[in-house]
């Protein structure tokens, strides 16, 4: 799952109030966005090469799933 300029996300369903959070390897929150479309794009070109964590949070503020994302050159 390496990303270079952007990270493309696709969802099977949208639950009102759900969101995703993007963190760097040190745990710093970089982005929080509500999931409001079946396909979304995270611009990734401004971030340094490295590992990031992408967490999906329910409308009840429960962690649903976290993925590691590798930012490439």
Residues 4-19: pLDDT tens digits?
788 899 988 888 889 9
pLDDT at 2 over 70: no
Write out pLDDT tens, residues 40-60: 999 888 899 999 999 999 999
Residue from 50, 44, 62 nearest 25 by CA: 50
- The model's pTM: 0.86
């Amino acid at each position: 799952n390496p990303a270079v300029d952007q990270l493309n996300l696709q969802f099977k369903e949208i639950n009102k109030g759900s969101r995703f959070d993007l963190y760097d390897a040190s745990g710093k929150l970089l982005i929080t966005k509500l999931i409001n479309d079946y396909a979304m794009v995270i611009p990734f070109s401004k971030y340094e090469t490295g590992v990031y964590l992408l967490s999906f949070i329910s409308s009840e503020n429960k962690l649903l799933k976290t993925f590691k994302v590798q930012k490439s050159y």
